[in-house]
Amino acid sequence: MCVNGKTGSPIQTDVGLLQICGITGIEAFLLKAQLQWAGHVMRIPDDRIPKQVFCGQLAVGTRPQCGPVRRYKDSLKETMKKCRMQPSTLSIDSQDRSNWKSQCQEAVIYIISYHMLYYDIRQNADEITNITKYSD
């Protein structure tokens, strides 16, 4: 294979390099931090400002013409769905700190394994394409 016109090792994708190094990517790190912070906010008392801001609704204001502004809550809900977690049970699940921490860890493991599976499928598809391309 060629790397920048020189013969050498094949080009590695970021998932491949993470597998070789045995570390997680920045997406997994940020995902875990986002979920743990949401659990922390849900555990703090209701009279604290961070929880009021996080759980509150906008009372006044207008929607931009291009569509609604994406809030942190919307992003968190999407992240939880991607990790196979139920956003509706966030306030209940996050009350037990050790259970919530293990759920966050499981979510990160799920996302990492999903990315690795996607990488393997894509790599195998590329190899099959190369084999059929050169066999013609």
The pLDDT score that the predictor gives to residue 101 is: 93
- For the stretch 62-74, pLDDT in tens is 666 777 777 788 8
Are 51 and 42 contacting, i.e. CB atoms less than 8 angstroms apart? yes
Q: Partners of 49 in the beta sheet?
A: none
| pLDDT of 5 above 80 | no
Which of the residue ranges 25-29, 57-61, 97-101, 113-117 has the most confident prediction, judged by mean pLDDT?
97-101
| pLDDT of 131 above 50 | yes
pLDDT band at residue 133 under the 50/70/90 scheme: low
- For the stretch 21-66, pLDDT in tens is 777 778 888 889 999 999 999 999 989 988 888 877 666 666 667 7
**What tokens does 92 get?**
């209940």
**What tokens does 70 get?**
């994406």
Rounded CA gap, 5 and 48, in Å? 59
Q: What is the arithmetic mean of pLDDT over 94-112?
A: 91
**What tokens does 123 get?**
């790599």
Question: How open is the CA angle 23-28-30, to the nearest 5 degrees?
Answer: 125
The pLDDT score that the predictor gives to residue 63 is: 64
Reported as half-sphere exposure (CB side, CA atoms, 13 A), residue 91 has a value of 8
3-state secondary structure of 2: strand
